[in-house]
Chains A and B, each alone.
Chain A
Amino acid sequence: MTKNQTILFLLFRKLGQTWQLFPAFLFLGFFFVYPVVLLLSLSFLNSNGEITLEHYGRLATTPLYFKVLVITLKTAGWTTLLAVVGGYPVAYLLASVRHSTRNSLLIWVLMPFWTSFLVRTFAWIVLLGRNGAVNDLLQVLGIIDRPLKIIYNFTGVLIGMTHALMPLAVLTMLSVMLNINANLPKAASTLGARGGQVFWRIFFPLSLPGVAAGGLLVFITSIGFFITPALLGGMRDTMIVQVIIFQIHEVLNWKFAGAVSMLLLLTVLLIFYFYDRLLGLSTLSGEAQQSSAKSNRLTMLGSQIGTRLITYIAWFCEKTAEFYEWFFPLRPDSPQRKFSQKVLWVTGLFIISFLALPTFFIIPVSFTEEGFLSWPPKGFSLQWYEQIFSSLHWFEAIGRSFLVASCSSLLGMFIGVPAAFFLIRKSIPGKTLIFAFLISPMILPHIIIAVAIFFLFANLSLVGTTFGLVLGHTVLAIPFVVVTVMAVIKNYNEHFDQAAWTLGATRLKTLIHITFPLIRPGLIAAFMFAFIISLDELTIALFITGGEVTTLPKQMWDDAIMRVSPLLAAVASLLLVFMSGFILLSEFLRRRGVQVK
Chain B
Amino acid sequence: MELSVCLRSQYLWRFFLVPYEPVGDSSTKLKIRNIRKTYGEVVALERVHLDLQEGEFLTLLGPSGSGKTTMLMAIAGLNDPDEGEIWIDGKLATYLPPFRRDIGMVFQNYALFPHMSIFENIAFPLRMRKFNEAFIHKEVTRVLEMIQLPEVAGRMPSQLSGGQQQRIALARAFVYEPSIILMDEPLGALDKKLRDQMQLEIKHLHEKLKITLLYVTHDQEEAMVMSDRICLMNNARIEQLGTPDELYFKPATLFAADFLGESNFLPAKVSSVRESSTLHLKLSDGTSVQAPHRNNVQEGESVRLMVRPECIRILLDNENEVNTATATLKEVFMSGPVTKYYLELAGGKEIKATQLTKGPISSIQTGDSVKIGWSKERSVVFNS
Contacts and interface: CB of A to CB of B under 8 A. Distances in A.
Nearest to A194: B99
A186 B100 contact: no
A192 B176 contact: yes
Interface string A323-359: 0001001111111100000000000000000000000
A289 B22 contact: no
B14 A186 contact: no
B124 interface: yes
A59 B95 CA distance: 67
Contact of A193 (B22, B99, B114): B99
Interface string B152-188: 0000101000000000000011001000001000000
Contacts of A332: 22, 91-96
Interface stretch (B103-111, B274-282, B331-339): B103-111
A333 B104 CA distance: 21
A289 B22 CA distance: 44
A187 B99 contact: no
A333 B80 CA distance: 11
A183 B109 contact: yes
Contacts of A201: 124
B316 interface: no
A206 B157 CA distance: 14
Contacts of A184: 111, 113-114
Interface in B118-139: 124-125, 128-129
Contacts of B105: 186-187, 190-191
Interface in A520-557: none
Given A190-B104, A336-B97, A197 B128 contact: yes
A181 B78 CA distance: 15
A107 interface: no
A335 B97 CA distance: 9
Q: Which of B91, B103, B107, B109 has the most CB of A within 10 A?
A: B107
A192 B128 contact: yes
A189 interface: yes
Q: Which of B20, B97, B99 has the most CB of A within 10 A?
A: B99
A464 interface: no
Interface residues of A, number: 29
Interface residues of B, number: 41
A335 B107 contact: no
A190 B129 contact: no
Contact of A205 (B95, B115, B129, B156): B115
Contacts of B111: 181, 183-184, 186-187
Nearest to B86: A332
A519 B355 CA distance: 54
Nearest to B76: A190
A369 B237 CA distance: 70
Contacts of A183: 107-109, 111
Contacts of B124: 188, 191, 193, 201
Nearest to A328: B17
A341 to B, nearest CB: 12
Interface string A80-123: 00000000000000000000000000000000000000000000
Given A183-B107, A206-B115, A290-B156, A190 B92 contact: no
A186 B107 contact: yes
A333 B95 contact: yes
A193 B128 contact: yes
A212 interface: no
B85 to A, nearest CB: 8
Contacts of B128: 191-194, 197
Contacts of B158: 290
Given A193-B128, A329-B18, 18 more contacts: A186-B105, A187-B105, A188-B124, A189-B78, A189-B97, A190-B103, A192-B128, A193-B124, A194-B97, A197-B128, A201-B124, A205-B115, A290-B156, A332-B96, A333-B85, A333-B94, A335-B80, A336-B97
